[in-house]
């Protein structure tokens, strides 16, 4: 017996037609992720909170499915999937291996096919606060707020970044503070101070394009390139015109930045 976690909205279709092979396993194989039913309720449903971070809105449900002992599956830790190191075993062997582990958190079973309606044993509601988030054992460890780790729009992410700001990835200082730093840098301006301020501007979705446009004439090419990276993702009117002017910059570093921003 295995458990597959999915959105409650999928329950009627699963009862009627089974589980589609929508997930991608190692090597790009299509199938269904599941986990053995263990004596521990928490370990059996350990993936619930992590899946809720990326899955559809609304509650998740547990789909119990019964597989033949000889069914071939892939099993291993989720990190092994990226290295194509998950091992093909029989379903019964996958249950034995995971059940014998002292800490099976982060382990998974991948069924390389769809699940038929007759293999679905039952679908039931589960508490939505079961399991780990981020990584197994992350409870009690401060989450990383760097640009690579944080998820834009995640519940509580803004408050978390404000409580524990990352030294490089924000949240950025207010716009008046950044403009004051640029003004204090002098004329034409200290490149280090200007590039530091532009780094913070680049973490915003909008900004004062008209007040930064003068930096397009700064003698240091690094400042002009960082200006491109800072405003390239903004939705503020005037960005396209500023990039048009920098597209003909004499320095290849600046021209390359404009090309990269427009292609992204």
* 245 band by pLDDT with thresholds 50, 70 and 90: very high
pLDDT in tens, 152-197: 666 677 888 888 888 878 788 999 999 999 999 999 999 999 999 9
pLDDT in tens, 49-90: 999 887 777 899 999 999 999 999 999 999 898 788 999 999
pLDDT of residue 35 exceeding 70: yes
Average pLDDT value for residue range 99-121: 96
Given this model, what pLDDT does residue 152 score? 67
Helix (H, G, I), strand (E, B) or coil at 62: strand
pTM for the model: 0.63
Helix (H, G, I), strand (E, B) or coil at 203: coil
CA dihedral sign, ordered 158, 164, 170, 171? positive
Average pLDDT value for residue range 87-101: 96
Alpha-carbon Rg for the chain in angstroms: 25
Phi and psi, residue 252, nearest 5°? -65, -25
pLDDT of residue 213 exceeding 70: yes
């Amino acid at each position: 017996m295995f458990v597959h976690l999915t959105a409650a909205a999928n329950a009627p279709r699963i009862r009627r037609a089974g589980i589609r092979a929508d997930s991608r396993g190692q090597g790009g194989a299509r199938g269904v992720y599941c986990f053995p039913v263990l004596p521990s309720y928490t370990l059996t449903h350990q993936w619930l909170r992590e899946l809720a971070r990326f899955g559809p809105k609304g509650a998740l449900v547990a789909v119990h499915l019964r597989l033949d002992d000889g069914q071939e599956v892939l099993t291993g830790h989720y990190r092994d999937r990226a290295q194509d190191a998950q091992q093909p075993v029989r379903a019964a062997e996958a249950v034995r291996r995971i059940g014998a582990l002292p800490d099976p958190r982060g382990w998974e079973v991948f069924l390389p096919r769809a699940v038929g309606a007759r293999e679905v044993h039952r679908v039931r509601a589960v508490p939505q606060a079961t399991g780990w988030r981020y990584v197994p054992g992350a409870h009690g460890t401060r989450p990383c707020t760097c640009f690579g780790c944080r998820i834009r729009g995640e519940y509580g992410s803004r408050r978390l970044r404000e409580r524990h700001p990352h030294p490089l990835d924000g949240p950025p200082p207010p716009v008046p503070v950044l403009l004051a730093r640029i003004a204090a840098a002098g004329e034409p301006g200290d490149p280090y101070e200007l590039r530091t301020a532009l780094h913070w501007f680049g973490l915003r979705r909008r900004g004062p394009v008209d007040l930064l446009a003068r930096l397009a004439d700064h003698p240091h090419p690094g400042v002009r390139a960082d200006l491109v990276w800072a405003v390239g993702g903004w939705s503020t009117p005037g960005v396209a015109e500023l990039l048009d002017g920098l597209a003909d910059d004499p320095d290849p570093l600046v021209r390359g930045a404009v090309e990269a921003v427009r292609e992204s």
